[in-house]
Chains A and B, each alone.
Chain A
Amino acid sequence: RIMPVRWSRYNPSYLEPEVKKESYQKPLEELTEEEREHMELKAVRPIKAAPPSLSSSVFSDPMISKFTNMMMKSGNKVLARSLMSQTLEAIKRKQLEKYHKAPENEKETIECNPYVIFHQALKNCQPIIGLSNITKGGKTYQVPVPLTDNRKRFLAMKWLITESRENKHRRTLMPEKLSQELLLAFNNEGPVIKKKHVLHKMAEANRAYAHFRWW
């Protein structure tokens, strides 16, 4: 789940809202113990208001809105949102071109849905293990450390955005650069995947220092 991080104006007893329609239409028998407890708790506790970026329509996706927020500069959500939609359109166009040019037997393997490509590319970019600086005896060592889900997603999205912002030709637009990066990440190629592999190799090399971690 993608959760907000800093302190909030809500009382700590307020719970997160559940926006998807399908979760309310499930009959009682299919739920597990934990879900039943959670439902009972929700019936008694107050619930926070849904933020403006979330809605129950099919087009809103929490991962995509998180990515849009990270791409946003100085609060210009309109621009960030339009860039995101142009990126998804560009991905769809490229995939459709490939689809029409491909021979009959390969047509089924080509993925055309930009949301699926986005999610898969993010998953491929997520590192499994991270490095953290620990100072011991005056020297700072890079210690391999497990990462939480949130941190992995954040790192993947950050790398994608920085790669597309910096290492490209000056005149190309952001949707173009991003769609290129996402397609490469989807096929496990590209600079972001390389960065992930480099990080993994460093962690593997430094595994002697793993016992420095105390948490």
Chain B
Amino acid sequence: TLRLICTTTAVQRKNVGASGPEKYTEAFIKKQIEEFNLGKRHLANMMGEDPETFTQEDIDRAIAYLFPSGLFDKQARPVMKHPTEIFPEQRKIQWGEDGRPFHFLFYTGKQSYYSLMHETYEKLLNVQKHQDQLIAQDLPLQKEKRNLAGSRWLTKIELEEMLLEKVSDDDYSRFIKLLQKLVALPCADIEEKYIQKFSKEVPMQLQKVVIEPLQHDKRGVAFSTGEGKRKTARATAVVYDSGTGKITVNGIDILHYFPVLQDREQLLFPFQFLGRIGKHDMVCTVSGGGRSAQAGAIRLASAKALRSFVTEKEVEFMRQAGLLTVDPRVKERKKPGQEGPRRKFTWKKR
């Protein structure tokens, strides 16, 4: 099952529009829009600007100037926005004056979800019919594979916004599986437009990290710095381009600072991966955390520093080996009513 395991803050907003029956009438919204437009013109007059060319950014700046607030939460400060952004879209009443519902699937409870599933299945059957026709005519099937790598499916919350009704986890995963089945068929190019409604581009390419150029020491030796962290440990590493592979941590040799073999293996990991064990010298400073966290922090710092010495392809290999990502795992907090983060108190029958 596709369970939402980890969510970012952007995705955690509650979709108010899909829950419950209508809360505000259309007339109310219209009144709010009129009041907003009037208020915009008054505000423009107050600030001495032209009411016709008063944009949303100007409104935000004006409100921040007139109502300064010391609250930390940005969403708690005074806000003046168009009513369609504040009041989410709602479903209009689904039945006519005689009480008869408009949609034929109204009594299922999830009419838009089931109608969506029916539509998608119809497209699937279409594609299969087309495929059968091609086979009957002995024509070759198109085998162009859609580039699945650059796109992702809609999240559950985005689907809820689209359908204006609550979608459960099971329903969402069923829908995604049906879409994947549709895409897996060879002649799915016919329904490309329909599929594009449910897929989004992943802007992974835009996150190009700037690799710093090499700096030069007083003696002319090329070096580069990198910073790394793991749990509570913070480390900075300076990698020099000269001869022997000596590594110094906080002024102490690694053999004395890290008596455990595993930590030393972690320090040497980036160098061993690139095949440059004897070629670089390293001086690092590290503070905080425990023995393993410090080793992980130094590993990340040295991998970041090595990026400047190495070709782009090798940087990509390092990223795919997991050397350049910050490890997000931290100690889980203890919860009230439990002894530890997961362990509950001993269960006593009486």
Do A and B come together as binding partners? yes
Chain A residues with a Cβ under 8 A of chain B: 7-13, 17-19, 21, 24, 37, 40-50, 52-53, 55-57, 59-60, 77-78, 81
Are A44 and B202 also in contact (CB < 8 A) when A60-B265, A78-B260 are?
yes
B70: interface (CB < 8 Å):
no
Query: Digit string of B292-328 for contact with A (CB within 8 Å is 1, else 0)?
Result: 1001100010000000000000001101111101111
Are A50 and B321 also in contact (CB < 8 A) when A40-B149, A41-B149 are?
yes
A48 lies within 8 A of B266 (CB)? no
B149 lies within 8 A of A47 (CB)? no
10 chain-A/chain-B pairs, Cβ below 8 angstroms: A8-B329, A37-B149, A40-B147, A43-B149, A44-B204, A44-B205, A46-B325, A52-B266, A52-B295, A77-B262
Q: How many angstroms between the C-alpha atoms of A25 and B204 in the bound complex?
A: 24
Are A49 and B269 also in contact (CB < 8 A) when A9-B6, A44-B150, A44-B202 are?
no
Complex contacts, B200 vs chain A, CB 8 Å? none
Name the residue of chain B whose CB is nearest to the CB of A33. Answer: B145
Are A47 and B325 also in contact (CB < 8 A) when A11-B6, A11-B8, A52-B296 are?
yes
B202 lies within 8 A of A56 (CB)? no
Complex contacts, A43 vs chain B, CB 8 Å? 149, 316
Name the residue of chain B whose CB is nearest to the CB of A50. Answer: B322
From B205, B273, B326, A56 is in contact (CB under 8 Å) with B273
Q: Which of B74-95 contact A (CB under 8 A)?
A: none
Complex contacts, A12 vs chain B, CB 8 Å? 2, 4-6
Are A44 and B322 also in contact (CB < 8 A) when A7-B5, A52-B295, A56-B272 are?
no
- Tell me the smallest distance from the CB of B66 to a CB of chain A, in Å: 40
Name the residue of chain A whose CB is nearest to the CB of B326. Answer: A49
A17 lies within 8 A of B316 (CB)? no
B325 lies within 8 A of A55 (CB)? no
Q: How many angstroms between the C-alpha atoms of A44 and B323 in the bound complex?
A: 16
B195: interface (CB < 8 Å):
no
Q: How many angstroms between the C-alpha atoms of A11 and B87 in the bound complex?
A: 30
B319 lies within 8 A of A47 (CB)? yes
Q: Interface size on B (CB < 8 Å)?
A: 41
B139: interface (CB < 8 Å):
no
Q: How many angstroms between the C-alpha atoms of A12 and B11 in the bound complex?
A: 14
Q: How many angstroms between the C-alpha atoms of A42 and B150 in the bound complex?
A: 10
B27: interface (CB < 8 Å):
no
- Tell me the smallest distance from the CB of B231 to a CB of chain A, in Å: 11
Complex contacts, A59 vs chain B, CB 8 Å? 265
The interface residues of chain A, by DSSP majority, are classed as loop
A18 lies within 8 A of B295 (CB)? no
Q: Choose among B150, B262, B323, B330 the residue with the greatest number of A CB atoms under 10 Å from its CB.
A: B262
Q: How many angstroms between the C-alpha atoms of A66 and B2 in the bound complex?
A: 27
Complex contacts, B152 vs chain A, CB 8 Å? 13
Name the residue of chain B whose CB is nearest to the CB of A19. Answer: B321
Name the residue of chain B whose CB is nearest to the CB of A77. Answer: B262
From A42, A60, A81, B320 is in contact (CB under 8 Å) with A42
B320 lies within 8 A of A55 (CB)? no
A81 lies within 8 A of B328 (CB)? no
Q: How many angstroms between the C-alpha atoms of A169 and B144 in the bound complex?
A: 65
B148: interface (CB < 8 Å):
yes
B167: interface (CB < 8 Å):
no
B268: interface (CB < 8 Å):
yes
Complex contacts, B269 vs chain A, CB 8 Å? 50, 55-57
Complex contacts, A18 vs chain B, CB 8 Å? 320-321
Complex contacts, B205 vs chain A, CB 8 Å? 44
Q: How many angstroms between the C-alpha atoms of A52 and B260 in the bound complex?
A: 12
Complex contacts, A8 vs chain B, CB 8 Å? 5-6, 329
Name the residue of chain B whose CB is nearest to the CB of A43. Answer: B149
Are A57 and B268 also in contact (CB < 8 A) when A12-B6, A42-B320, A81-B262 are?
yes
Query: Digit string of B181-208 for contact with A (CB within 8 Å is 1, else 0)?
Result: 0000000000000000000001011000
- Tell me the smallest distance from the CB of A90 to a CB of chain B, in Å: 18
Q: Which of B124-152 contact A (CB under 8 A)?
A: 145, 147-150, 152
From B145, B272, B273, B327, A49 is in contact (CB under 8 Å) with B327
Complex contacts, B5 vs chain A, CB 8 Å? 7-8, 12
B261: interface (CB < 8 Å):
yes
Complex contacts, A11 vs chain B, CB 8 Å? 6, 8
A57 lies within 8 A of B204 (CB)? no
Complex contacts, B6 vs chain A, CB 8 Å? 7-12
